[in-house]
Amino acid sequence: EAQVTQNPRYLITVTGKKLTVTCSQNMNHEYMSWYRQDPGLGLRQIYYSMNVEVTDKGDVPEGYKVSRKEKRNFPLILESPSPNQTSLYFCASSAAGINQPQHFGDGTRLSIL
Amino acid sequence: GENVEQHPSTLSVQEGDSAVIKCTYSDSASNYFPWYKQELGKGPQLIIDIRSNVGEKKDQRIAVTLNKTAKHFSLHITETQPEDSAVYFCAAANDYKLSFGAGTTVTVRA
């Protein structure tokens, strides 16, 4: 089954404790991205990757890091999480770029205390 | 940058009636307009999309219209059913950026 898999689905942690949210897709997609969803703001792009070893900032990249060492994986790293990063996070992939249908994971709800 | 506005923020309709959600965008370079449906606890799922060289597209009970001159596009759901209850997002993309509206919570009353 074609899918985007995120882990963990839920996480409660404390300020400053480094965390990684993993994302993996099995569709051989070139393009991957991370979004955060906050009430009344829709989805805002954090980082994206056009291909392996190619990453770039989205609209709200501050406080986040990503890497794309393999085509299928695109982890999101919060080096020193803060409460304003409490949000619902989605990973997405598409065959080739931003103006193609995006396939989303089921989300990761992060709470930073 | 691109700014996508979506209205209404909530919409309640009687089962069998139609639902219409409207979006406007600001960037004339936007050329791809997808609509996503998000059910509780799930990620957004593409339900229909339209490109800037097309004015209207239909898929069973769902249709989307695009007015490039006015920079607005709309989602129409006919003969609504309880399973249509969800949050719907419009989005606009140019070649390098995808911007989402704030979402519309649709409730279909039985």
First-last CA distance in chain A = 36
Check residue A1 and give its pLDDT.
86
Check residue A103 and give its pLDDT.
97
Band (pLDDT 50/70/90 cuts) for residue B10 is: very high
- Between A97, A101, A107, which is nearest B34 by CB? A101
**Contact (CB<8Å) A99/B94:** yes
A contact set with B (CB within 8 A): 4, 40-45, 59, 90, 92, 97-107
Q: A41 to chain B, minimum CA–CA distance in Å?
A: 5
Average of per-residue pLDDT values in chain B: 95
Q: Which residue has the higher pLDDT, A18 or B52?
A: A18
Report the distance separating Cα A102 and Cα A111, nearest Å: 25
- Dihedral sign computed on CA atoms, order A22, B49, B35, B69: positive
- Between A42, A102, A107, which is nearest B101 by CB? A42
Report the distance separating Cα B11 and Cα B104, nearest Å: 7
Band (pLDDT 50/70/90 cuts) for residue B53 is: confident
Which tokens in the block code for residue B88?
């719907």
Q: A47 to chain B, minimum CA–CA distance in Å?
A: 11
Low-confidence ranges of chain A (pLDDT < 70): none
Check residue A3 and give its pLDDT.
95
Does residue B35 register a pLDDT over 90? yes
Q: Are B1 and B27 in contact (CB under 8 A)?
A: yes
| Mean pLDDT value across residues B48-71 | 94
Check residue B57 and give its pLDDT.
94
For B97, the closest chain A residue by CA position comes to: A98
Which of these, A61, A56, A72, A69, lies nearest to A3 by C-alpha position? A72
Check residue A97 and give its pLDDT.
87
For B40, the closest chain A residue by CA position comes to: A106
Check residue B59 and give its pLDDT.
95
Contact residues for B109 (Cβ-Cβ < 8 A; gap 6+) = B12, B13, B14, B15
Q: Are A101 and B49 in contact (CB under 8 A)?
A: yes
Give the burial string for A20-44 (b: 16+ CB within 10 Å, else e): ebebbbeeebbbbbbbbbeeeebbb
**Contact (CB<8Å) B102/A40:** yes
Band (pLDDT 50/70/90 cuts) for residue B97 is: confident
